[in-house]
Amino acid sequence: MDAAAVAAALEDARFFARQDSRHEDLADDVRGRAELAEWERIEQLLAAAAPDTVYDPDTDDVVRAELAAEAAAAAEREAAVRHAQRVEARADELQALRELGTLEQAEPREGDEAVRDELTRRAGSYVQADVGTWLAQALAAHRGHYADPAAREAAAGFLPQPVLAHAALLSALAHLVPAAAPGELTFAARLAAAEPEATADLAALLADATEPTDPTESPA
């Protein structure tokens, strides 16, 4: 578009804006005001450019930035949809394993914290104790994707305090009583569910007590 065409479009936009202002139901038309502001911006752009410059939206930095933002937002929405689909599929898988009684044999994967949340949502916010225990045991034993220290660190931001306290207590007990069978440690889940903060404190105390000491260190 050349300057004359832009000027004509701007005049039309101003005319429609004046018309809208006379009607109460159109006075707050955001789209009309935005269109007028855009034509004013383009007119100023051409006014500051060299004579006979033609407006090309493909070279307009503002338009290009808007298109890039729209594309990024669309990609974000698509990624969110794909993530939700993966979570739902994994939730179906874990639910099937629960029904078969083999959940504890499954290896946790990245994103299973969100799957736990999905199962909780499906159950009407009912606490998923068995899934929480499964994740706590895997976290304590560094199983599945929890073999990665970064994944274990990230779990603190994804899992609720009772699950984290349960995992911490199991980890401490594994060092203190390494021969204990899993069935002997079921009390850890009950403690964590009832008193997560106290359980975390107990786990820290036990971890400190079992921390190997440096034989070369002299007493204070």
Confidence of residue 214 (pLDDT cuts 50, 70, 90): low
pLDDT digits (tens, 9 = 90+) for 82-115: 999 999 999 999 999 999 999 999 999 999 999 9
pLDDT digits (tens, 9 = 90+) for 110-164: 999 999 999 999 999 898 999 999 999 999 999 999 999 999 999 999 999 999 9
2-5: list long-range contacts, CB under 8 Å, 24+ apart.
Answer: 2/52, 2/54, 2/55, 3/43, 3/46, 3/47, 3/53
Look at 1 and 108; give whichever has higher pLDDT: 108
- Taking the C-alpha atoms of residue 133 and residue 96, their distance in angstroms, rounded to an integer, is 17
In the block, tokens 């606490």 appear at: 127
Evaluate whether 132 touches 119 at the Cβ level (below 8 Å).
no
Confidence of residue 169 (pLDDT cuts 50, 70, 90): very high
Domain boundaries, the chain: 3-55
